[in-house]
Structure 1
Amino acid sequence: MLSPIAFYSPIAIATEDEEKARKAKMSIIIERYKDRVSVLHKHKTWNNTHVYKYEGFWYHRGFWYQSNASFSIEAVMASQDGFQAQPTDVFLASHPKSGTTWLKALAFAIANRTKFNFGPNHPLRTICPHDCVPFIESEAFLNNPSYANGLMATHIPYTSLPKSIISCGCRIVYICRDPKDVLISSWHFMNKLIGNESTPIKLEDAFEYFSKGIITNGSFWDNVVGYRKASLERRGRPDTVLFLVYEEMKKDPKNEVKKLAKFIGHPFTKEEEAKRVVEEIIELCSFEKLSNASTNANDEREDTLSNEIFFRKGIVGDSVNHLTPEMIQILDRITRQKYEGLDIPI
């Protein structure tokens, strides 16, 4: 097992001036990669914008949702060219809407449990987990490197990760979720995102593009398969890739949180377990607590996303209330085909 990681000292939230500087740097990056992007195959996706195919996955180009510039194709290229991982780093990987926010909160709370008590002053009481754990493709390589102290997140597919992440032996935690619930969560998220600015996305359209993988960050199934294969190939090195399943975490949070803590180098002691520290972290990171914290967060920057947009229900199986039996049958068939031989609970 690699040594424990000393995560985060203060919580680093970008100021308005830092946001302006970040946007200016992102503009430079967009200009740098425009020729490479211009020759890529493009396709219209569910919100009537275009995505571009790069290394087998689809991405938006340029600035995507407001100032975050998150997950654009140029950001992926820039992270591949410039991001340098360290052996002590931990990366929380996922396809969007697969439990990313929850995983960030749990990992942050686990790693920083000796720095912050679980009372009202804990950062997660008022700060969105996305402000506690940056995405490498939208934050870490754009700001001062001290902003990312060992714990980072990514939606980049395994095969497109910066080479240093693969070669340096750092740890990767991947979270997988039922694709039907991912679809519904993504559909609601995108409609919140566009608000009243344009016509809401129809579920039928969202289903069509999701099924074909023509969405930001590409095929959900291919993203899962890439990390699952990596976890199986590295069985001889069990400290490098941990594959978690959202539904299993909801069913047995205590054991899954203990597994996560051990993997990232911060196992719970017997004394901590006796004092119910595991349960305290689970409670702190519950959907109800995190969503309440997002409501109370005071973010005065008008050009950034409201923290509330990242929370909806967080339950298992909500897709049955939205999808038709035929849609469910099609998605289940794709899942069985894609996951064959990979021992992924479906």
Structure 2
Amino acid sequence: MDPKELPPNVRDDKISEETKKLISSLPSHTDSQGQKLCKYQGCWYYYNTLQGVLNFQSGFQPQDTDIILASYPKSGTTWLKALTVALLGRSKNHSSSNDHPLLYDNPHGIVPFLEIDVYHESSSPNLDNFSATPRLFSTHMPLHAMQETLKQSPCKIVYVCRNLKDTLFSTWLFACAIFKIEPTRSILDSMFKSLCNGTIFYGPFWDHLLSYWRGSFKDPKHVLFMRYEEMKAEPHEQIKRHADFLGCPFTKQEEESGVVDKILDLCSLRNLSSLEVNKTGKVNNVDHKNFFRKGEVGDSKNYLTTEMENKIDMIIQEKLQSSGLNF
């Protein structure tokens, strides 16, 4: 596969000499697709992603009204972005009109990743496209990777997590789609091994999860912890919780007129995947259609072996014990 066809976070064409020197001193690992990762500040990154993280850490200047949507990869990121865009767009009367941004762009095109998109090439990118307030960004970085940069900032962070089994299964299919390879059992087994020993992209999963879980207790006004499974089970309650946190709660009139239902319908997998913009086009060399599959809870049980499920359960129980967080 032509390296130029890979997503920017996987390619290694934008790495500075200074970063190359840093990488040479870091623990390294090669994933199931033959791509190299390194461990920086406790988290595993592809080389280009690390460059974006470093650029962000040295150059990002937060504004008080910024909103950052955070997640571990394949944990409900696309849905969270769509819901947030729709929530914030209510004041522009988009929720029932034909000019809603979600009808004309993929959620990942509307809400770019800090380390993969915005700061991918430079620590001082042109942010003219983010003149609107609030600025809306996303990230897969763990919270501790952003804490120094966001120190003293009242900007808000919304984190969504998902059951690790479904996350693994979704990551497997997504990675194979990106690399245009058959989703074989051997690749799934390799990813499972990397996940369990913590060397998977943006892993270890449990450290990522706990950084936001603890952050939500330490600073609940600025870090909201959401769970994909709860968003699926009780969408009305969770979207209202989301809106309250962002400072744009639903009014009684909005609830009575069905605005909550309209937003949930607009942002549903069924609707988003049926839009022409999400059937065609790309963002970061990834086809829009690859961001939409089933979105079901527990679908991984049809693919993971009993041994895999039991090992993941054992690891999560061990890593999350005494944290108060359960799956």
Partner Cα separation in structure 1 for residue 184 and residue 47 of structure 2? 22
TM superposition score normalised by structure 1:
0.83
Q: Are positions 1:250 and 2:236 aligned together? A: no
1:284 to 258, 262, 266: 266
| Whole-angstrom CA distance in 2 between matches of 1:49 and 1:240 | 35
Which sits farther off after the overlay, 139-148 or 278-287? 139-148
In the other structure, the counterpart of 1:98 is 75
How many residue pairs align between the two structures?
Answer: 310
**2:22 maps to which residue?**
36
CA RMSD of aligned residues (A): 2.3
Post-superposition offset of 1:297: 5.4
* Structure 2 residue aligned with 1:4: none
Counterpart Cα distance in 2 of 1:28 and 1:161: 21
Judge conservation of contact 2:103–2:277 (CA < 8 Å) in 1.
Answer: no
Letter in 1 for 2:21: D
Does residue 133 of the first structure (1) align with residue 111 of the second (2)? yes
What residue in structure 2 maps to residue 315 of structure 1?
296
Q: Deviations over 1:100-147 (max 9, x none)?
A: 110000011000122224344322123110011111112233542132
Cα gap change, 1:242 to 1:323, in 2 (>3 Å):
same
Percent identity over the alignment is 39
Which aligned pairs between 1:324-335 and structure 2 lie closer than 5 A? 324-335=305-316
1:295 is displaced (CA, Å) by 5.4
SS in 2 for 1:327: helix
Instruction: Pick which of 160-169 and 36-45 moved more.
Output: 160-169
C-alpha distance in 2 between matches for 1:309 and 1:48: 21
Q: Aligned with 1:172: secondary structure?
A: strand
In the TM superposition, residue 290 of structure 1 has moved relative to its aligned partner by: 1.5
Could you say what secondary structure the match of 2:96 adopts? coil
The 1:85/1:173 distance shift into structure 2, 3 A limit, reads same
Q: Does 1:266 align with 2:243?
A: no
Q: Does 1:191 align with 2:170?
A: no
Give the 3-state SS of the residue equivalent to 1:202 in structure 2: helix
Structure 2 equivalent of residue 170 of structure 1: 155
Alpha-carbon separation, structure 2, partners of 1:200 and 1:325: 14
> Counterpart of 1:107 in 2: which secondary structure?
helix
User: Residues 208-247 of structure 1: matches in 2 within 5 Å?
Assistant: 208-234=193-219, 238-247=220-229
Give the gaps of 5 or more residues in structure 1: 1-21, 63-71
SS in 2 for 1:91: strand
Quick check: 1:47–1:201 contact (8 Å CA) kept in 2?
A: no
Contact 2:114 2:139 in 1 (8 A): yes
TM-score by length of 2: 0.88
